[in-house]
Every structure is written in structure tokens, then in C-alpha cells.
Amino acid sequence: MTDTTCRHCGRPGQIELQLTIKEGPAMTMLSCGGCEHRTWLVDGEEVSKARALAVVAGRDDFALVHKPRGS
Ligand SMILES: [Zn+2]
């Protein structure tokens, strides 16, 4: 289960987006509706935005999946 509390402003219930890549790592982006702080996770590990973007760089086989809250 992902912690959806924003570490930046403490607001709960960040929007969770999952990036699905064929034969790639599981990626998640948490976006805060309060301060727009974004957290990137690769295989459950928090990484920098630059690192996360490097994972998807040059790939056209990924899809964004919006995960409804509470799932
Ligand atoms: Zn925030």
C-alpha cells in the first residue's frame, strides 16, 4: 500500500498515477493537489524525477493508469 500523504505539505490523498512499461519496472507518480509536489516511485522505491524520467526516456510503450483513491 502506498502512503498518499504529501511529504511536502502533509496533505493526505495525493493522486496516484501508475506508469506501466512493458518489461520495465513498476512506476508510480504521486501528485499532490495542494502544493503540486510530485513523488516518483520505481518498484516501490522513491527516486528523483530525473531518475524516473530516465527510466521512461525513449520508450513509447508505457501507459498511464489512474488509480482511484482507496484502491
Ligand atoms: Zn503537498
**Measured in angstroms, how far is the CA atom of residue 55 from the centroid of ligand 1?**
24
**Measured in angstroms, how far is the CA atom of residue 34 from the centroid of ligand 1?**
5
pTM over 0.85: no
Spans of all domains in the chain: 15-67
- Compute, in degrees rounded to 10, the torsion defined by CA atoms 46, 52, 55, 60: 130
In this predicted model, what pLDDT tens digit does every residue of 49-60 receive, in sequence order? 999 989 888 888
Provide the sign of the torsion angle of the four alpha carbons 64, 49, 43, 61, taken in this order. positive
Q: What is the pLDDT of residue 69?
A: 64
In this predicted model, what pLDDT tens digit does every residue of 14-69 receive, in sequence order? 999 998 888 888 899 999 999 999 999 999 899 999 999 898 888 888 787 777 76
Higher pLDDT, 4 or 9: 9
Reading the block at residue 47, the C-alpha cell is 527516486
Nearest-angstrom CA–CA distance, 35 and 8: 8
| Neighbour order of strands in the sheet with 45-47 | 45-47, 38-42, 27-31, 15-21, 62-67
